[in-house]
Amino acid sequence: MTCLIICEKNNAAQRISTILSSGKYNKTYVNKVPVFRFAYNKKDCTVVGLRGHILGLDYPPEFKRWQLHNLEELAKTDPIKKPTVGAIASALKTVSSGIEEIVIATDFDREGELIGAEALEIVQKKGMTIKRARFSALTKYEVESAFENLIDIDMNLAKAAETRQIIDLAWGAALTRFVSIVSDQTGRDFLSVGRVQSPTLALVVDREMEIEKFDPKAFWEISANLEKKDEKGTFTAKHDHGIFWEPEEANKAFALVEKAKEAKIGKVVKEEKKDYPPNPFSTTQFLLDANRMGISPARAMSIAESLYTEGFISYPRTDNTVYPKSLPIKKILQDLVMNSDLSKEAESILSQSSIRPTRGKKETTDHPPIHPASGARKSKLIGERWAIYELVTRRFLATLAQAADVVLTNADVDIEGEKFKAQGHNTTYRGWYDIYTYYKVKDTFIPDLKEGDKVPIIQVQKRESKTKPPNRFNQGSVIKEMENLGLGTKSTRHEIIQKLYDRRYIDGTQLQPTTTGRALIKALEESAEQITQHEMTSTLEEDMELVAQGKKKMEEVIDESKDMLLQSLKTLEKNKDKVRKEIKDALNKQSFIADCPDCDGGQLMIRWSKRGKRFVGCSGYPACSNTYALPQSGLVVPHDEKCDRCGTPSIKLVQKRRKPAKLCLDLDCQIKENTKNGRGKKAPAKK
């Protein structure tokens, strides 16, 4: 029998070929596309790797020009499919000739199933048997098991992914065109609006506005530093009242205990407690923990995908937090002992009398939680690749480890008739803490106390504090919030965050909206609020899940989405003047640097060349052609002071891991200063 195996990417095709052929494949090229051939299980196999989606959606030619008058028609129009990678499509047609069986071996999820279905649309599949190889890791065991137990392709999954493609294209195309046209921001400076992107940006903008409007309120806390003779270390007791909101009340309580020299210990309660290990890694929790390590979600997912393709970890896109019974846990542990730099930790798990993994709340059947698939060493996986592999492996080992033992102590303390409480936290057995080293536990010292003990008071203090605004989102916490609100999926959330950065809508590790991002959301919230709220988007997400389960028709969900989009467009049309003013005012504010020194009434603004390079130019162009070069990286903001040397307007340049720098816009002046200080010799071109 002849068999064509279709993989998602070339590196996956090569790895599957290596496993099934034991490395004895023949590699050739068809239209410059790598093709692998070998014999397996009495079949003559041909393996081709795609480049992700090889069919793309686009609108008919009449919608190429961006115009306001045809947006409703665009929203109603179904897009058409076109090959996006002609060489691969042609190669597929060539190698499928005479084939008796096709096996789809793409990633098993919605996108992977759609990619496989797209390939089937291209090949000549008449009379062929169509099967699916389902695996969660590109290891010898998983791949061989998948090809020995082929299943049918899940067209409902593919339809759910195609539904998302069509809906997101329609929303993005129609809303982006509307906002960009009314604000005169077409071409490379267009303003992107999206079904998931805009509600996510609204989370960041609304949080920033909440912080700005926050009115801090003063409060007071009273505590005492105590010590017990013959025991090293002091301990703290806090007033049982907790927070005092009124200064008079705090002052009254403090006056009673301020000069006290001794405290009397009341009831002491000790509780032995177990701190159980964390749950297995879902995609969201993985991205959260990677972000805490300083690796962005987009970067973490990119690394995880490469480690998966190379056979080091399991498939990194999953909501599952329960290991399936079929997962060969002991086999993985033995491999880690033999072939990993984490062998000591793996051996400690194997030495336990029993191995019982933790279980999360969500159990799915598509893929297991993220786990190591094979051993690896730091010498091979360097830098962030090792950091991600180690994170995944330590999390897996921690879920199998023993619980930590903790002793909690609560003691009542009497100081001059005022009630205080002292609390202690002491770890007596570290268990999983020693494996999942990213989790930091801080013990709180408290001596061995007994009821009736009298202990000296070192100091009693009253501390004034103020309530703090909510924290800004970071990339990890906003992804968690997106999951809670049903915005996007495990496969798309990190991409949405990265898109907001790329569009210059947000900035910083603690997410702050730019002036443009804030203006866009403010304009949409005032003119078509439903676009920025999560309810409409999460409803469509739920409907797409029903399509994946075969409980709802693809066409029904698309029609529902069209109705929502058309209603949004009508609302925007009524308020287009307000949208135009809000966005244009914000763009001008964000781009303004200073008044132009070469003309009367002109303003120096940040501009972008056709080559994508930024510079400062006069708003009076072409009458005034005054321009200045800009650094191409870092955040540029106006500086109130002009250059001390030449009087030219200055900017403040904010770059990662550097102090903000004041720079003169005149590069000749900069070069003279740098040369005087022994830095630099040549001035770059002025524009």
- pLDDT at residue 673 tops 70: no
Catalytic residue among 40, 308, 315, 505: 315
- In the chain, list all ranges with CATH 1.10.460.10: 180-212+477-583
Average pLDDT estimate for 174-184: 90
Instruction: List the alpha helices (DSSP H) in 283-404.
Output: 283-292, 297-309, 329-339, 343-350, 384-400
- pLDDT at residue 668 tops 50: yes
More confident position, 424 or 54: 424
- pLDDT at residue 671 tops 80: no
Task: Quote the pLDDT of residue 676.
Answer: 59
- pLDDT at residue 372 tops 50: yes
Average pLDDT estimate for 147-158: 94
- pLDDT at residue 680 tops 60: no
Structure tokens, 391 = 């994170």
Run of H or E residues at 544: helix 534-548
Nearest 5 degrees, angle CA 665-CA 669-CA 670?
70
Run of H or E residues at 210: helix 197-213
- In the chain, list all ranges with CATH 2.70.20.10: 218-276+404-466
Active site residue 323: no
Task: Quote the pLDDT of residue 516.
Answer: 85
Backbone dihedral angles phi then psi of residue 111, each to the nearest 5 degrees: -65, -45
Rg of the Cα atoms in the chain? 31
Nearby residues of 609 by Cβ (< 8 Å), 6 or more positions away: 615, 687
Confidence category of residue 684, pLDDT binned at 50, 70, 90: very low
Q: In 3-state terms, what secondary structure has residue 667?
A: helix
- pLDDT at residue 683 tops 80: no
pLDDT in tens, 606-659: 887 877 788 999 988 889 999 998 888 777 878 888 888 888 888 888 776 677
Nearest 5 degrees, angle CA 605-CA 611-CA 613?
40
More confident position, 676 or 388: 388
Mean pLDDT of the chain: 91
Q: Rounded distance, CA 255 to CA 257, Å?
A: 6
- pLDDT at residue 131 tops 70: yes
**219, 465 Cβ separation under 8 angstroms:** yes
DSSP string, 453-501: -EEEEEEEEEEEEE--PPPPP-HHHHHHHHHHHT-S-TTTHHHHHHHHH
Structure tokens, 480 = 């968690």
Q: Kindly indicate whether the domain formed by 218-276+404-466 is annotated with CATH number 3.40.605.10.
A: no
Average pLDDT estimate for 80-98: 89
- In the chain, list all ranges with CATH 3.40.50.140: 2-50+85-153
Q: Rounded distance, CA 344 to CA 339, Å?
A: 11
In sequence order, what E strands does 522-597 have? Answer: 592-595
Look up the CATH superfamily of 283-400. Answer: Topoisomerase I, domain 4 (1.10.290.10)
Average pLDDT estimate for 559-565: 93
What CATH number should be reported for the domain whose range is 180-212+477-583? Answer: 1.10.460.10
- pLDDT at residue 677 tops 70: no
- Percent of the chain at pLDDT exceeding 90: 68
DSSP 62: G
pLDDT in tens, 569-596: 999 999 888 888 888 887 788 788 888 8
- In the chain, list all ranges with CATH 1.10.290.10: 283-400
pLDDT in tens, 492-518: 999 999 999 988 889 888 999 988 898
Q: Which fold has domain 2-50+85-153?
A: Rossmann fold (3.40.50)
pLDDT in tens, 14-53: 999 999 999 999 999 998 999 999 999 889 999 999 988 8
Run of H or E residues at 75: helix 71-76
Task: Quote the pLDDT of residue 504.
Answer: 83
Confidence category of residue 679, pLDDT binned at 50, 70, 90: very low
Structure tokens, 415 = 């100081």
